[in-house]
Amino acid sequence: MTDSLVADPGLFDRVRWNNIYTLYRLACDLRNSPKSYVRRRFEEHATEFERTLEFMEGVGFVCQHDSRLGAAENCRVKGITPEQLLDQCRRHPSFGPALRSYFRQFRVDADGRVVRHHGGGSCTEFFGIRDLLMDLRVVLFDNSHCCYELAPDQYELFIEAHRSAGPSHPSRLTRRLEQRRSVGADVEAAVIDYERSRIAPENPARVRHVAAWDSAAGYDIESITVEQARHLPRYIEVKAVSAVTYRFYWSRTEIAMAKLLKKLYYLYLVPVAGNRVQLDQLRIVENPLERILTDGGDWAVEPEVLCCQLSPC
Residue 77 resides in a domain: no
CATH at 277: 3.40.1350
279 plus 200 within the same structural domain: yes
- Domain termination residue (choose one: 161, 179, 194): 161
pLDDT digits (tens, 9 = 90+) for 214-269: 888 899 999 999 888 788 999 999 999 888 788 888 888 899 999 999 999 999 99
Highest average pLDDT, of 180-189, 277-286, 303-312, comes from 277-286
At 228 the pLDDT is: 80
In a domain, 111, yes or no: yes
- The answer, yes or no, to whether residue 305 has pLDDT greater than 70, is no
Domain span at residue 150 reads 85-161
The region of weakest confidence among 29-33, 73-77, 113-117, 122-126 is 73-77
Amino acid at the residue 207: V
Band of the pLDDT at 178, cuts 50, 70, 90?
Answer: low
Task: Answer left, alpha or beta for residue 10, where phi above 0 means left and psi between -120 and 50 means alpha.
Answer: alpha
Q: Provide the residue type at 190 as one letter.
A: A
**280 band by pLDDT with thresholds 50, 70 and 90:** very high
pLDDT tens digits, 7-59: 688 899 999 999 999 999 999 888 889 999 999 999 999 999 999 999 999 99
Are both 179 and 266 inside the same structural domain? yes
User: Do 257 and 203 share a structural domain?
Assistant: yes
CA distance 106 to 115: 5
Is residue 137 assigned to a domain? yes
Question: What pLDDT, on the 0 to 100 scale, is given for residue 76?
Answer: 56
Q: What is the CATH number of the domain that holds 22?
A: 1.10.10
Let me know if residue 99 belongs to a domain: yes
Distance of CA 196 to the CA centre of its chain: 21
| Beta-carbon count within 10 A of 287 CB | 17
* Same-domain pairing of 118 and 216: no
Structurally, the chain folds into a number of domains equal to: 3
Q: pLDDT above 90 covers what percent of the chain?
A: 47
- Tell me what pLDDT residue 118 has: 76
Within a domain: 78:
no
Q: Are residues 104 and 45 in the same domain?
A: no
Q: Assess whether 54 and 178 both reside in one domain.
A: no
Q: Which residues contact 248 (CB under 8 A, 6 or more apart)?
A: 239, 241, 267, 269, 308, 309
Mark whether 175 and 264 lie in a shared domain. yes
Kindly state whether residues 223 and 277 are assigned to the same domain. yes
Q: Tell the burial category of 191 from Cβ atoms under 10 Å away from its Cβ (0-12, 13-18, 19+).
A: buried
Q: Is residue 79 situated within a structural domain?
A: no
Distance CA 235, CA 286 (A): 10
**Same domain membership, residue 299 and residue 187:** yes
CA–centroid distance for 241 within its chain: 29
Residues 142 and 236 in one domain: no
Strands 265-273 and 230-241: parallel
Do 133 and 184 sit in the same domain of this protein? no
For residue 80, is it within any domain?
no
Residue 302 has pLDDT above 80, yes or no: no
Asked if residue 306 and residue 182 are part of one domain, the reply reads: yes
